[in-house]
Homo-oligomer: A and B are copies of this chain.
């Protein structure tokens, strides 16, 4: 059976931070479900459109081996307002499945309250928010702490996805 990875995004996502991980995971043989707040087409901050595969309320964390969250400031700023999103993130984390977040997506992890004592990175603009949430902040292209993989910006996508693919290969 093909293993499925979840991604959650809404309008304003950083275009490459959604599409590069999505296509890269498909290339590596995984199925990717893009979960939206609804099934309406969403657009990246540069305008790239994509239709979510399903809506947040229809998504079950048990269906996935991990979660990848793209950034783009407006995207996670909106996602963190929804209990459905935060509960999904908490559930994935409680099952010790992969949680990967890049750029501003750290905001969603902060509101899901899963960062206390964890080593992580983010876009530099939200560094203070990350530290105030209990993060041991590192200014590195990719930071891996147990099931948490984080990166800073689109320039880090090669390191981010290399780490994610290696992590997923190890799980059975």
Interface on A for B, CB 8 Å cutoff?
A: 15-16, 19-20, 23-24, 26-27, 44, 46-49, 157-159, 161-162
Contacts and interface: CB of A to CB of B under 8 A. Distances in A.
Nearest to A162: B27
Interface of A, secondary structure class, is helix
A161 B44 CA distance: 23
Contacts of A26: 158
Nearest to A28: B158
Nearest to A157: B23
A170 B16 CA distance: 28
A11 to B, nearest CB: 14
Given A27-B158, A46-B48, 19 more contacts: A15-B46, A16-B19, A16-B48, A19-B19, A19-B20, A20-B20, A20-B23, A20-B24, A23-B161, A24-B24, A24-B27, A26-B158, A27-B159, A27-B161, A27-B162, A44-B46, A46-B46, A46-B47, A47-B48
